[in-house]
Chains A and B, each alone.
Chain A
């Protein structure tokens, strides 16, 4: 009797931890051996991208203004390794944030701002508008940024559409041809990093045919721009494959822009990772196999399962992590919704090893467990959704979450 009661209690508590949603602080981030994670911020609201200054100050861009600021700075004033100073500034929500050559850059959904760093103090009273009047539609409206070593800033401008159909998101609606959205969206634009008040006329459409890229980074090893493409939704409604396979399509893509004007094919094409080809979208007469005009569209350097939503990209240049991570790419996957009613995927940080500027192996899961449950069917069930990545001055990796506004520092302590 006693035994069975004990059994009941144990089973019940086991089921509780397995089935009942955990509280945010109970969530354990799973990492490879030798790595540890530490929560460095909580409940900041929607923390999107992140950057760490050379002195260790951490800047997070919030999707919306909270407590008087759309940018949060976290500082460890007394050097004990704990954040003891939080300040906020910037009266706009947004996603992008970066530091280059003594300036902090941040984006709203229509502008790019920058703040001079006097020593390590941003001149928050005098933001300069570097780029303005960018298109922000009702979807894919956020702007991400990265900078090269030649004085340029790259701004992603997502297309406010799924596949440029005459009627957005209507299954069977034909695609517009040519797609008028490509003129001002659906690509990555290059602007001067130090020139005020630029807009489309001052910039270059550096890459096109990109539906929406949120994760973007300049790779200093190759001196090229890399971007993570969010593939189109709703392909499964065309039933080219059984549902369990259709839901994997199209691939989420890692794109390398090697020259100005590179075209990755949206909205006419998608990357079918089953046959490893860019093929025509059904809105443009495609059947998931026909290549047609997509022979001119550039393929990704690495593909990932559909709808996982890569929102952060970082090439790791530190020396704290083991050798295999150097010059490789970390990718923060926000997690899917377009896989319903099947299980949702993503909610993790992936790693792609690189050698001589090319992926040298398949992608792998680096950090997992952010959802708080192993299997989830809706994104709302996920406790955390990874979004931004940054590297600290001592080589630690930082990850943000835009569901609750948490941030983690991941360090390597192994031998």
Chain B
């Protein structure tokens, strides 16, 4: 099992080395509600993805860690372009993030091994938690961004 994870990570790192320009045009054709079971179900599933993959760094209340891991509460990243947000999850982060004059510089690992459904759910959860209120992220949107991020 661990070998399998290793292989996945290696594959992710190799394909991630050839990063492409940020896609700016979101896949608007796909309805946001295309996630299975509607908004509420997506948020519930998203919370368990968040707990497993995101919580240690971004914290249980989305407040992040000062100087290290950015907060997810009402920031331009969380509430802004879904394309950039999806890319962030797929590619991780290796640049300094600035929010309201504070910088956050810890490495975010790429989470490319998550399924389209998991990424849609976790982003929908984040965009509708911690005081955030923003539109859901659909599987189709993740699929479209992933296709252009290879």
Please list the residues of chain A having a beta carbon within 8 angstroms of any beta carbon in chain B: 63, 138-139, 141, 162, 166-174, 233-234, 236, 337-338, 340-341, 377-381, 385, 403
Contact = CB atoms under 8 A, between A and B. Distances in A.
Contacts of A403: 66
Contact of B56 (A138, A168, A338, A385): A338
A379 B65 contact: yes
B69 interface: yes
Contacts of B94: 138
Contacts of A169: 106-109
B66 A380 contact: yes
30 contacts: A138-B105, A167-B9, A167-B110, A168-B107, A169-B108, A170-B9, A170-B12, A170-B109, A171-B109, A172-B5, A172-B6, A173-B6, A173-B9, A233-B56, A234-B56, A236-B56, A337-B57, A337-B68, A338-B56, A340-B56, A341-B60, A377-B60, A377-B61, A378-B65, A379-B59, A379-B66, A380-B59, A380-B63, A380-B64, A380-B65
Nearest to B104: A138
B55 interface: yes
Query: SS class of chain A's interface: helix, strand, loop or mixed?
Result: loop
Contacts of A381: 63
A166 B13 contact: yes
Contact of A378 (B10, B51, B63, B109): B63
B71 interface: yes
Given A174-B6, A380-B64, 19 more contacts: A63-B67, A138-B96, A139-B107, A162-B107, A166-B13, A167-B9, A167-B109, A173-B109, A234-B56, A337-B65, A337-B69, A340-B55, A340-B59, A341-B55, A341-B56, A378-B59, A378-B61, A378-B63, A380-B59
B29 interface: no
